[in-house]
Amino acid sequence: MNTVRVRFAPSPTGYLHVGGARTALFNWLFARQHKGVFVLRIEDTDLARSTQEATQAILDALEYLGLDWDEGPKKEGDYGPYYQSKRLELYREYAQRLVEQGRAYRCYCPPEELEQRREEQIKRGEPTHYDRSCLHLSAEEEARYQAEGRIPVLRFRSLDEGVTEVDDLIRGSVRFDNVAQVDDFVIMKSDGMPTYNFAVVVDDALMRITHVIRGEDHLSNTPKQIQIYEALGFSVPKFAHIPMILGPDRALLSKRHGATSVTQFKKDGYLSTAMVNYLALLGWSYDDAQTLFSVPELVEKFSLEKVSKNPAVFDIQKLEWMNGVYIRELSLEELFDEVLPYWQEAGFVPAEISPELKDYCLRILQELQPRFKLLAEAVDLARYFFTDDYQYNPEAVEQVLTKPQVEEILEYAAEAVASVPELDEKHLKPLFKEGLAKFGVKMGGLIQPLRVAVTGTNVSPGIYEVLALVGRDRALQRIERTLKMLKERS
RNA sequence: GCCCCCAUCGUCUAGCGGCCUAGGACAUCGCCCUCUCACGGCGAAGACACCGGUUCAAAUCCGGUUGGGGGUGCCA
């Protein structure tokens, strides 16, 4: 029984995109389920666009998602190195082998000229193919080109007949006509770096990858890669092309659709559990009933057979809902750990938290827990618990504090708050109720003004809980302050 | 242009010839709970793209059309 070996091979040209994260997740789940190996390989052959920062960002994002790799950067295995830029000798060696076999040749055609020929082919309704003008160069011609300072690329000599079949685990058999679909593509660039289609084959073969799970955008290039596998005598891995992720406009998901970087989702306060659960459901499903899956459950239940074939629109609303679900599942201690960085950044709490302060935070979180979907929201929701320095919400003031008798009502409420032995529902509610008849209002008519006075807004946890947390002194001060503000307004 | 993939509620999907008057989840809209907002509960609305076949029977199989996506790069 061969062990399953899969890989995620991002190119470090930017942050980890949710599409890439989903691909990484599917590979990881497949590896873990089969007790296989998950390899991380950095495809940094694009010298112009690859950066060290991007590599780090991708590593961090994977760590946040909990997708640990068995071989890769900082985790050397038997098939390294795991950066393509450190594997150049390998590509040159195999390229040379192809040249010797007559399956690769140098091409000196200038890019502009190639572009022109391509346009002409389109005009004539033909597929766009390299015309092989450098296939049979004489030694004299080569010498002349080199004297001109032209630097060649290496092209793969593709098959002249037949069909290349991709046996895809998700899509079944997909057939490509060799002549019409696979032209003599470049395998080594003039800067000496391999192209994607070549490097990916050499690496996947040498790293003994058994299953290539990747985005559907790679399906059309697969016959090219298979021809290389075969030319080099490598065994061809199994392929599984997973559907693309689209934006709401059904175009490929990209930055212009908003946040697509995993790092950004983390900053906004998405829990990795929610992120992973949601991503797993983009293109995969288990049955007609279950939508919530823990990571161990995903490892157990995931299967390529149940990956869908059609592209999926990224639905941020569903992700948000799911994040709310996971926030509510957290214990208060866990929620505290998640929210703490946000509160610290907002200056609500210091770096060092006393036990008393932590207890206060936990009590706040108990009230807030069912009320937010993103961790970042915990800042605005909790502001009035930590500081008196907040603005009154204008709509709240307009809606609630302009009603007749508000000042009297607030004064009444203040007396109640001041007189009660304990700031809780048991003691306050009877007093509040007594006042209702006097002012001819219902409970909301008293509580809403009080809420705005004490929190600055008309949306908060239950008033008794808020009062208990804010405390008698602060509550009375704030009512005083509100009364003063109202007098100044009129 | 050429080639490949795909097609069930707005979205993610279940469905692999009869169990479907098509199920679930998000979103939407009602109602309940209620001091506001959430949470929670109940309910409603909402889809098999179209046209031909095959079959006793099709969302499910086949072909076409249309639509969407991808590839076609010295990007990956």
pLDDT one-digit tens code per residue, A113-126: 999 999 999 999 88
pLDDT at residue A286, as a whole number: 96
Is the Cβ atom of A5 within 7 Å of strand B at any atom?
Answer: no
- CA-to-CA distance for A451 and A149, rounded, in angstroms? 79
**Catalytic positions of A, written as ranges:** 255
The values of phi and psi at residue A129, to 5°, are: -130, 150
A375 versus A2: which is more confidently predicted? A375
- pLDDT at site A163: 94
Q: Is the CB of A352 within 7 Å of strand B?
A: no
A171 burial via Cβ count (<10 Å: 0-12, 13-18, 19+): middle
Question: Which tokens hold the place of A76?
Answer: 């050397």
The C-alpha atoms of residue A13 and residue A47 are separated, in whole angstroms, by 10
| Sheet containing strand A238-242, strands side by side | A172-177, A163-168, A238-242, A211-215
Instruction: Give the contacts of A476 (CB within 8 A, at least 6 positions apart).
Output: A414, A417, A418
- State how far the alpha carbon of A301 is from the alpha carbons of A34, A51, A281, A328, in Å: 11, 36, 12, 24
Stated in angstroms, how far is A313 CA from B9 C1'?
A: 15
Q: A490 pLDDT exceeds 80? A: no
Please give the pLDDT value at position A191: 93
Residue nearest to nucleotide B25 (CA to C1'): A291
What is the average pLDDT across A177-183? 92
Per-residue model confidence as pLDDT tens digits over A56-99: 999 999 999 999 999 999 999 999 899 999 999 999 999 999 99
CB-CB contact of A231 with A105 (8 Å): no
Task: Give chain B positions with protein CB within 7 A.
Answer: 1-8, 10-15, 23-27, 34-40, 68-76
CA at A312, C1' at B17: how many angstroms apart?
Answer: 28
For the record, the structure tokens of A399 come out as 């809606």
Nucleotide B39: closest residue by CA–C1' = A370
Instruction: Render pLDDT for A362-407 as a digit per residue (tens, 0 to 9).
Output: 999 999 999 999 999 999 999 999 999 999 999 999 999 998 899 9
| Contact status, residue A218 vs residue A224, Cβ threshold 8 Å | no
The whole-angstrom separation of Cα A420 and Cα A337 is 35
Quote the CA–CA distance of A196 and A9 in Å, as a whole number.
Answer: 11
State residue A1's pLDDT score.
57
Residue nearest B14, CA–C1′ metric: A288
At A27-44, the pLDDT tens digits run 999 999 999 999 999 999
Cβ(A224)–Cβ(A251) below 8 Å: no
Question: What would the two tokens of residue A172 be?
Answer: 């079944």
Kindly report the pTM of this predicted structure: 0.95
**What single letter denotes the amino acid at residue A73?**
P
Å: A302 CA to B53 C1': 37
Between CA A388 and CA A385 the distance in angstroms is: 8
